[in-house]
Amino acid sequence: MNKFITLVLLFFLCNPQSIISQEKNTTSVLNREMIDISKQFPSDIFFKKAVLFFLEKNWDSTLVYSQKQILTSQTKPLLDYSKFLRVYSFTQKKVFKEAEKEYSLISKNFKLYNLAKTYLGVLALEQRQFKKAITYFEDVIDLPEREYELIKKSSIIHNLGLCYLHLKKIPQAEFYLIKSIKIKEQQKDTLALIGTYGNVASLYYEQYKDALAIPYFEKAYLLAKKTNDFDLKRKATKNMAVVEENRKNYKKALVYRKEMEQWKDSLNDQNKIWEVAKLEKEFAVKEKQKEVNILQVENKLKETQRNLFLYSAAGLFILLGIGTYFYREKVKANKTIALQKENLDALNSTKDKLFSIVSHDLRSSVNALKRSNVTLLDNLASKNIDAIGTLLHKNSAIVNGAYNLLNYALLQTKQSYFNITSMSLFFITEQVAYNYKPLLLEKTIHFENTVSKSSLINADQESLKIILRNLLDNAIKFSKQNGTIKVYSQNNSPEYCDLVIEDTGFGMNEATRLKLLETNFTLSKKEHEEVIGTGLGIQLCKSMIKKNNGKFSIKSELGKGTKMIVSLPKTQDNG
Amino acid sequence: MDNINVFIIEDTASESDALVKVLTANNYNITGIATNFKDALNLFYNIKVDIVIIDIFLNGTPDGISFAETINAVPNASKPFVFLTSSTDRKIFERAKLTQPFSYLMKPFNELEILYAIEMAVEKFFTQENVFLSEEEDTVISSEYLFIKKGKSLKKVLITDIVYIDVEEKYCNIITENEKFVILISLTKILQLLDNSNFQRTHRNFIVNTKHIKEIVPADNLILLTGGYKATLSERYKDIIKKVRTLK
């Protein structure tokens, strides 16, 4: 009987093989399934990690994360998956009780429920809890065809047979094992077939049904011969040897024994080869490690070089940026300088022009004064009083011209005080006209100021006086003896007060009038050398009226007289 | 009616001579002429001054402005003043403008211009503008004097000398112990500007200086005043009796 026990044990060792081969197939399908599921729920990080560790076959970590997933997550579909992962991991760790517990928690509708059951069955078988194994296996034996995608039916049948064999329930064992053989013969699963033949043979052999058993042993032996698995060969040969021994056919038994020894040696050789291969592998790994180290060093070197390059590039870039910035600043500064230069040039040219005008006109007036003084002295010597009076008036006109020049210069340089205030037009006119009283008297010109005393205008006092002085001066200059000059205000618009200086003098033609109103000032050649400032006075008036926000117009008829009209803004709040 | 006292600060003799000539001709009293900042300050506090005419540039420096700034800074010491200048330099003007009230006159000037400038200075100083230019009024009231335009020039009357004022439509007859004259001013303005602790209305047309009241005769609706003047006391204003200190 001892012999038989050894035989039986021998065949149990074949069992896992068949299951593993079944598993390999399943694992890839299962792996894919798990990956798909974890992709469907990207937010469940614990499940993702559990699947990751499951793929890496790190069962402890799989257990930890699947447990975390069960405890923390609300995602229901993942609950069963997590539990399945736990069953799987416990099965792999051969902790039957825990696996069973987890399994009991899986809902029966779960897709992988039956697979879990199968795993439990296999584990129970391995743990020699045959009855339990049988209950698990019998549950999965009669499932609809589609369920066998992940479960190998033949293996289950085989395992059931094994269980019954161990429980000495020979008829059931025989039934399942023969069925298993039939399926495997159909599938041509040689390795599993050898194991199953062995099992069936030992089944019969144990019942002393040698006639039935021996063909199976022989079948197993013949099949084993074709394979490259030395261990299987050895076991099959050993079985044959035992069979022959029991038949007292020692000669044959010896042959089988020798063959078995041979296979054993081969197995040992193979083991040695494997060891050598392992050593070689280790050596290769070491070599690889060295290579890796070298590469790492190289990488470090490269990294350093790259960093150096990066830093220098960054440095250069910054330098370029700074350079560009300063270049731009410089360009800007240059532009500003150019602009300033232009302005300065313009100002300088104005100044030069001004100087030329001033020097020319000033020289003219000084010369005029000199000549006048000489004449004055002559007249004084001859006591010609009338002529002296005329000369003095002429002198005052010359001085007035010089003033205009000065004011014009001041206006150009914008250095003069200018402050617009409210004032009475009547009184300003009175004050300005006061200086001309003697001149008016001398020319017997009738003068009247009928400006409304209530008209208040906004203007700068000094510039308004200059304007009035010039206009009055002109009016007197171009008036005939016994003429009339009227100064009056016109209230034509709500914003402006018109001041009209009207004379009955020579008047002017349209061409002269338009020329006077032209804005660009050109030094005209003096027609009468002793009366300077022709043109300048009116230009000054126009500039100053403009500065006082006023308007200027001329109405004139040749031979009848001229109206100079100055419109100035009224003081609004005084109505 | 007294002449106005003018204090001239001017460093050029010919200029100050011209000024003196013009102003004297228009019945102004020239009470002092200073040629520098120090003398100006000394004189200013020691002579009678109603108006100051200040040349901005004294010996080449704008000490005239400094003087104005100094008298401006002392409370109750300041008087109306006019700046005289021949320069229109903007910077100088900006500084001078800070001495409020600011009025100025450009050299060369004629008689009308200086008289006008003085009037403007008085108006601005007592913040009663457009009085002398208008045809409706001719009097500016300060706390001490009435400044009245007479012809081309200004005159002044000491307010405490006024015995009573007789209002006649747009005119007011001012009666002092020695004089009687008419000024152009509205009743509301005169009531508003005179010190009402001394001046009381006694009738629709009478404003009386209580200091000059000698006797009140309620029975006859009469008030007897110094200088033998009499004013009417109407029913409406009889409260005046309570305000006047009377013998019991």
How far B110 CA lies from chain A's nearest CA (Å)? 7
Q: Indicate yes or no: CB of B90 within 8 angstroms of CB of A417.
A: yes
The set of residues, in sequence order, having a beta carbon less than 8 Å from that of B76 and lying 6+ positions away, is none
Q: What are the residues whose beta carbons fall under 8 Å from the beta carbon of B219, sequence distance 6 or more?
A: none
Q: Which residue, among A90, A122, A124, has the nearest Cα to A106 in the 3D structure? A: A90
Cβ neighbourhood burial of B246 (10 Å; 0-12, 13-18, 19+): exposed
The DSSP 8-state label assigned to residue B61 in this structure reads: B
How far apart are the C-alpha atoms of A271 and A446, rounded to whole Å? 148
Distances in Å between the Cα of A378 and the Cα atoms of A384, A394, A421 are 9, 16, 48
3-state secondary structure at position A43: coil
| B98 contact A CB<8A | no
Whether A415 sits inside 8 A of B89 (CB atoms) is yes
Instruction: Chain A: give the shortest CA distance to residue B145, in Å.
Output: 25
Subunit contact A417:B88, Cβ cutoff 8 A = yes
What letter would DSSP give residue A525?
P
What whole-number distance in Å separates Cα of residue B46 and Cα of residue B38?
Answer: 13
- Test the A interface: residue of B91, B116, B152 with most A CBs within 10 Å: B116
Alpha carbon of B93: minimum distance to chain A alpha carbons (Å): 6
Please state the CATH superfamily assignment of the domain spanning residues A417-569 in this structure: Histidine kinase-like ATPase, C-terminal domain (3.30.565.10)
Q: Which residues of A87-126 are buried (b: 16+ CB within 10 A; e: fewer)?
A: bbbbbbeebbeebbebbeebeeebebbbbbbbbbbbbbbb
Token reading at A559: 């031979």
Mean pLDDT per 10-residue segment, chain A (575 residues):
40 41 61 79 80 83 83 76 82 80 77 78 80 80 70 76 79 79 74 76 76 78 76 78 79 82 81 88 92 94 95 96 95 95 88 76 81 85 80 78 79 80 90 88 90 89 90 87 92 90 88 78 45 65 90 90 92 63
- Chain center to CA of A440: 85
Contact B110 A435 (CB under 8 A): yes
**pLDDT for residue B170:** 80
Q: Which residues of B touch A416 (CB under 8 A)?
A: 88-90
A-chain residues within 8 Å CB-CB of B134? Answer: 453-454
Task: Tell whether B111 lies on the interface with A, counting CB pairs under 8 A.
Answer: yes
Contact B151, B181 (CB under 8 A): no
Tokens of A208: 């002393």
State the smallest CA–CA distance between residue A360 and chain B in angstroms. 23
DSSP per residue, A172-220? HHHHHHHHHHHHHHHHT-HHHHHHHHHHHHHHHHHTT-HHHHHHHHHHH
User: How close A429 gets to chain B, by Cα (Å)?
Assistant: 11
Cα separation, A485 vs A428, in Å, equals 16
Q: Which residues on B lie below 8 Å from A419 (Cβ)? A: 93, 97
The span from the CA of A277 to the CA of A272, in Å, is 8
Are the CB atoms for B233 and B240 separated by under 8 Å? yes
Task: List residues of chain A with CB under 8 Å from any CB of chain B.
Answer: 410, 415-419, 424, 426-427, 430-431, 434-435, 453-454, 456, 462, 465, 574
Nearest to A434 among B90, B106, B112 (CB): B112
Q: Does B89 touch chain A (CB under 8 A)?
A: yes
Cross-strand partners of B55: B84
Structure-token pair, residue A220: 């197993």
DSSP A479: P
Cis preceding linkage at A438, omega within 30: no
pLDDT digits (tens, 9 = 90+) for B94-129: 888 888 777 888 888 889 999 999 999 999 999 888
Report the alpha-carbon distance of residue B65 to residue B21 in Å, rounded. 24
pLDDT at A57: 81
First to last CA, chain A: 143
φ, ψ of residue B11 to 5 degrees: the values are: -90, -15
**Inter-chain touch A416–B97, beta carbons under 8 Å:** no
Q: Which CATH number fits domain B160-243: 2.40.50.1020, 1.10.260.40, 1.10.287.130, 2.40.400.10?
A: 2.40.50.1020
Distance from CA of residue A403 to its chain's centroid? 70
Are residues B57 and B85 in contact, defined by beta-carbon separation less than 8 angstroms? Answer: yes
Q: Are A453 and B94 inside 8 Å of each other by CB?
A: no
Contact of B242 with chain A, judged by CB distance below 8 Å, is answered with no
Q: Which residues lie closer than 8 Å to A85 by C-beta, 6 or more apart?
A: A34, A50, A51, A54, A62, A66
Distance CA B109, CA B113 (A): 6
Out of A417, A434, A454, whose CB is closest to B93?
Answer: A417
Through-space distance between the first and last CA atoms of chain B, rounded to whole angstroms: 37
Q: Are B134 and A453 a contacting pair at CB < 8 A?
A: yes
Residue ranges of the domains in chain B?
A: 2-125, 160-243
Give the C-alpha distances (Å, rounded to integers) separating A148 from A118, A140, A142, A145.
11, 9, 10, 6
Residues in chain B with CB shorter than 8 Å from the CB of A462 are 88, 106
Chain A residue whose CA is closest to B120 = A423
Find the closest chain A residue to B89 by CA distance: A416
Out of B93, B106, B133, the one facing A424 most closely (by C-beta) is: B133
Of A416, A427, A434, Cβ closest to residue B90 = A416
Interface with chain A: mutation pick from B130, B131, B134, B137, highest number of A CBs within 10 Å = B130
Q: Which residue of A has its CA nearest to B112?
A: A431
Q: Which amino acid is at B171?
A: Y
Residue A417 to residue B89, Cβ atoms within 8 A: yes
The C-alpha of B118 sits at a distance from chain A's nearest C-alpha, in angstroms, of 13
B106 chain-A contacts, CB cut-off 8 A: 462, 465
Q: Which residue in the set B90, B112, B135 is minimally distant from A453, CB to CB?
A: B135
Q: Please answer yes or no on whether B90 and A462 come within 8 Å at the CB atom.
A: no
| Interface with B, mutate which of A414, A431, A432, A571 (most B CBs under 10 A) | A431
The H or E element containing residue A237 is: helix A230-246
Query: Which CATH number among 3.20.20.140, 3.40.50.2300, 3.40.50.720, 3.40.50.620 corresponds to the domain B2-125?
Result: 3.40.50.2300
What is the residue extent of each domain of chain A? 417-569
Residues of B in contact with A410 (CB under 8 A): 88
Angle at A254 between CA A251 and CA A257, to 5 degrees: 155
| Cross-chain residue pair B134–A419, CB shorter than 8 Å | no
Of A93, A61, A67, give the one whose Cα is nearest residue A79.
A67
Task: Name the residue among B88, B97, B134 with its Cβ closest to that of A462.
Answer: B88
Q: What mean pLDDT value characterizes chain B? A: 88
Q: Kindly state the tokens that stand for A72.
A: 């923390």
Q: What is the DSSP string of B22-34?
A: HHHHTTEEEEEEE
Q: Which residues of A touch B135 (CB under 8 A)?
A: 453
Write out chain A residues lying below 8 Å of B116, CB-based: 427, 431
B14: contact with A, CB 8 A cutoff: no
Sole residue written with tokens 């066998």: A148
Query: Cβ of B90 and A415 within 8 Å?
Result: yes
Instruction: Judge whether A534 and A521 are in contact, CB under 8 Å.
Output: no
Between chains, do A435 and B133 touch, taking CB under 8 Å as contact? no
Task: Please give, rounded to a whole number of angstroms, the shortest distance from the CA of A357 to a CA of chain B.
Answer: 21
What is the number of CB-based contacts under 8 A between chain A and chain B? 41
ipTM of the shown complex? 0.83
Predicted pLDDT of residue A288: 92
- When CB atoms are compared, the residue of A430, A453, A574 closest to B112 is A430
Please report the DSSP string for A60-123 in residue order: HHHHHHHHHHHHH---HHHHHHHHHHHHHHHHHTT-HHHHHHHHHHS-TT-TTHHHHHHHHHHH
Closest CA to A468 of A512, A506, A504, A501: A501
Bridge partners (DSSP) listed for residue B113: none
Collect all residues of chain A within an 8 Å Cβ-Cβ radius of residue B133: 424, 426-427, 453
Chain A CA closest to residue B87: A416
- What's residue A146's pLDDT? 67
Neighboring chain A residues of B92 at a CB cutoff of 8 Å: 417
Please check whether residue B232 is in contact with residue B178, taking contact to mean a CB–CB distance below 8 angstroms.
no
- Give A18's contacts (C-beta < 8 A, 6+ positions apart): A155, A158, A191, A192, A195, A196
Chain B residues 116-155 within an 8 A CB cutoff of chain A:
116, 130, 133-135
**What's the pLDDT score for residue A202?**
77
pLDDT at B246: 59
